[in-house]
C-alpha cells in the first residue's frame, strides 16, 4: 500500500520539542511568561500593537465579536466559502448572520457583491455591524475596498486570517490591522504554524485589546483603574464582564514561539510547492489558484477547480479515484449556508451561486512544507490518471 499523503500537516522540529519540554520543566504550565512571549513574537512580526493568544481561532473570533459589541438585533456578514466558525461567532453573540457571495477568481468575498448588498441593506435598515472577510487559502481579501465601504456604511471589520499568517497584502504583513479592527489567526496543525489548538486576535486599538484580554479570562480584571471601587487588598480582582476561559497554555505557546522562527521558511516552501503544481497542471483541464496582484499568499491551500464540461468523470469520481491512491485530497469549503443548521435559519441552496458553483468543482491538493517532490509527483500522476 502506498504511503498516505494528507492534504496538510504540521512540521515539528527537535527545537520545537525542546521548547515545549522546557516549559514542562518550568514553574508555569499556563498563565506564565511564554504566552506573552508568543504574543510579542507575532505582534512584532505583523507590526501590530496588541496580540491576544487564545485556545483557538474560534474563541478569538467570538471574543472579537463581543469586544466590538455585537449582540441581539445586530447583523454579521461573512463569506459562505469558509469554515463554519467564521459565521458561528455571530450566532454565539445572539446576532443574525448573512453571507456575501465570492469572487470567482479569488474565491474571497466579492467586493461588488458586498457593495450591492450594502446598498440594499441600507434601504432596509439592516446594515451589518461587523463584516468578516476571510483570507481564503492564505490570499488576502481586497482590504482597501472593504475599508472604504466600512467607512461609508459604518461597519467594523474582523479579518479571519486563519489561513494567512505569513502572507502579505500590498507588501505589508497580514495581521497588521491597517484596514481592520481585529485580525484573527488559527494555529490548528493544518494551518501555517501550529500550537496544536490555538488562535490569536490582533488589534491596534487599546480598548479592544483590553476587552478581549478580559473576555478570554472570565471577564476578570486586576487593573485598579477599571475597578468600580477601591481594592480590598493585594489578592483583589473584579469581574466586570461575562467572560470565558479562552486561554492558551504556556506549553502551546512554547510551540508557537518556536514555530514562529520558521514561519518565513514554511511560507517559502509552500510557494515552491504551489509553483511546481502550477507548472505540472498547466495542460490539464483544471483551473489553478489565481493570485491577485495586491496579494502575496501564505498558500495554506492549493484548491484546483475541475473543468467538468471537458471531463467524463464528475468531481466525486475524481475525488474518490485520488483517495483510492492514498492521496488525501480534501474540499474547502462546503458553503456554510448549505449546512443543515443554517438551512434551518432560512438559507437555501441557490442563495450564493458563486460559492456553490465553486464547491461543485473544487478539490484541495495536498500542500505542506515537508511535502516531498516524489509525493507531489504521485499526486499529479494520480490526478492525470483520474482525469
Ligand atoms: C481553521 C479555521 C477556523 C477555526 O480555527 P480553530 O483554531 O480551529 O478554531 C476559523 N476560520 C477559518 C477560515 C479556518 O480555516
What is the Cα–Cα distance from 239 to 219, expressed in whole angstroms?
5
Q: Which three cell numbers stand for residue 163?
A: 489561513
First to last CA, the chain: 22
Kindly give the number of the ligand 1 atom that is closest to the alpha carbon of 136.
13
Mean pLDDT taken over the chain? 97
pTM > 0.95: yes
Q: Are the C-beta atoms of 198 and 256 separated by less than 8 Å? A: yes
Sequence-distant (6+) residues with CB within 8 A of 208 are 50, 64, 67, 68, 181, 182
What pLDDT does 121 receive?
98
Q: Are the C-beta atoms of 158 and 183 separated by less than 8 Å? A: yes
Task: Name the pLDDT band for 27 (thresholds 50, 70, 90).
Answer: very high
Helix 34-46 with 250-260: angle, nearest 10 deg:
30
Q: Are the C-beta atoms of 113 and 100 separated by less than 8 Å? A: yes
Cβ < 6 A, ligand 1 pocket:
56-58, 82-83, 85-86, 134, 160, 162-163, 186, 188, 199
Mean pLDDT over 286-290 rounds to 97
Kindly give the number of the ligand 1 atom that is closest to the alpha carbon of 191.
1
Mean pLDDT over 222-239 rounds to 95
What is the Cα–Cα distance from 311 to 142, expressed in whole angstroms?
33
Domain boundaries, the chain: 5-260, 263-386
pLDDT exceeds cutoff 80 at 1: no
Kindly give the number of the ligand 1 atom that is closest to the alpha carbon of 186.
7
Sequence-distant (6+) residues with CB within 8 A of 263 are 45, 165, 166, 192, 193
Q: Which CATH architecture has domain 263-386?
A: Alpha-Beta Complex (3.90)
- φ, ψ at 75 (rounded to 5°): -115, 140
What pLDDT does 108 receive?
98
* Ligand 1 mutation target, pool 56, 57, 89, most atoms within 8 A of CB: 57
For 5-260, CATH gives 3.40.640.10
Each residue's pLDDT tens digit, 304-317: 999 999 999 999 99
What is the Cα–Cα distance from 270 to 301, expressed in whole angstroms?
9
What pLDDT does 218 receive?
98
Each residue's pLDDT tens digit, 246-267: 999 999 999 999 999 999 999 9
* Ligand 1 mutation target, pool 8, 186, 200, most atoms within 8 A of CB: 186
pLDDT exceeds cutoff 90 at 37: yes
Task: Name the pLDDT band for 49 (thresholds 50, 70, 90).
Answer: very high
What is the Cα–Cα distance from 193 to 197, expressed in whole angstroms?
11
Kindly give the number of the ligand 1 atom that is closest to the alpha carbon of 190.
1
Sequence-distant (6+) residues with CB within 8 A of 66 are 93, 211, 215
What pLDDT does 2 receive?
85
Q: How far is the CA of 162 from the centre of ligand 1 (A)?
A: 5
Mean pLDDT over 118-129 rounds to 98
Q: Which three cell numbers stand for residue 284?
A: 490539464
What is the Cα–Cα distance from 319 to 316, expressed in whole angstroms?
5
Atom 6 of ligand 1 has which residue's CA nearest to it?
Answer: 57
- φ, ψ at 200 (rounded to 5°): -150, 145
Q: Which residues of 20-34 are buried (b: 16+ CB within 10 A; e: fewer)?
A: beebeeeeeeeebeb
- String of DSSP letters for 180-207: SSEEEEE--TTSSS--SS-EEEEES-HH
What pLDDT does 158 receive?
99
Question: How big is the CA angle at 32 (ends 29 and 35), to the nearest 5 degrees?
Answer: 95
Mean pLDDT over 333-359 rounds to 98
Atom 10 of ligand 1 has which residue's CA nearest to it?
Answer: 85
Question: Position of cell 469520481?
Answer: 317
What is the Cα–Cα distance from 305 to 278, expressed in whole angstroms?
13
Burial level of 368, CB count in 10 A (0-12/13-18/19+)? buried
Each residue's pLDDT tens digit, 175-211: 999 999 999 999 999 999 999 999 999 999 999 999 9
Amino acid at each position: 500500500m502506498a504511503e498516505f499523503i494528507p492534504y496538510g500537516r504540521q512540521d515539528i522540529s527537535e527545537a520545537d520539542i525542546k521548547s515545549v519540554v522546557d516549559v514542562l520543566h518550568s514553574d508555569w504550565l499556563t498563565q506564565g511568561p511564554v504566552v506573552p512571549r508568543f504574543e510579542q513574537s507575532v505582534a512584532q512580526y505583523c507590526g501590530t500593537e496588541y496580540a491576544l493568544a487564545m485556545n483557538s481561532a474560534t474563541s478569538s473570533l467570538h471574543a472579537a465579536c463581543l469586544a466590538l459589541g455585537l449582540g441581539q438585533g445586530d447583523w454579521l456578514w461573512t463569506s459562505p466559502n469558509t469554515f463554519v466558525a467564521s459565521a458561528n461567532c455571530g450566532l454565539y453573540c445572539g446576532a443574525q448572520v448573512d453571507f456575501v457571495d465570492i469572487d470567482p477568481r479569488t474565491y474571497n468575498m466579492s467586493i461588488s457583491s458586498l457593495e450591492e448588498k450594502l446598498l440594499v441593506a441600507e434601504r432596509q435598515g439592516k446594515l451589518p455591524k461587523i463584516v468578516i472577510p476571510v483570507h481564503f487559502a492564505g490570499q488576502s481579501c481586497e482590504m482597501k475596498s472593504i475599508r472604504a465601504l466600512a467607512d461609508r456604511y459604518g461597519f467594523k471589520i474582523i479579518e479571519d486570517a486563519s489561513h494567512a499568517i505569513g502572507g502579505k497584502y500590498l507588501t505589508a504583513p497580514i495581521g497588521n490591522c491597517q484596514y481592520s479592527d481585529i485580525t484573527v489567526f488559527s494555529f490548528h496543525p493544518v494551518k501555517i504554524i501550529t500550537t496544536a489548538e490555538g488562535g490569536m486576535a490582533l488589534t491596534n486599538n487599546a480598548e479592544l485589546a483590553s476587552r478581549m484580554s478580559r473576555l478570554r479570562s472570565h471577564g476578570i480584571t486586576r487593573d485598579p483603574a477599571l475597578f468600580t471601587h477601591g481594592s480590598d487588598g493585594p489578592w483583589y480582582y473584579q469581574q466586570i464582564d461575562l467572560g470565558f476561559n479562552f486561554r492558551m497554555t504556556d506549553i502551546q505557546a512554547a510551540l508557537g514561539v518556536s514555530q514562529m522562527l520558521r514561519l518565513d521558511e514554511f511560507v517559502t516552501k509552500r510557494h515552491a510547492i504551489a509553483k511546481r503544481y502550477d507548472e505540472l497542471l498547466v495542460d490539464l483541464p483544471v483551473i489553478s489558484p489565481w493570485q491577485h496582484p495586491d496579494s502575496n499568499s501564505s498558500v495554506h491551500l492549493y484548491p484546483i477547480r475541475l473543468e467538468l464540461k471537458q471531463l467524463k468523470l464528475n468531481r466525486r469520481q475524481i475525488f474518490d479515484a485520488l483517495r483510492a491512491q492514498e492521496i488525501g485530497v480534501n474540499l474547502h469549503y462546503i458553503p456554510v449556508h448549505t449546512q443543515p443548521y443554517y438551512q434551518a435559519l432560512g438559507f437555501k441552496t441557490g442563495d450564493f451561486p458563486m460559492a456553490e458553483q465553486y464547491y461543485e468543482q473544487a478539490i484541495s491538493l495536498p500542500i505542506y512544507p515537508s511535502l516531498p517532490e516524489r509525493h507531489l509527483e504521485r499526486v499529479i500522476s494520480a490526478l492525470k490518471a483520474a482525469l
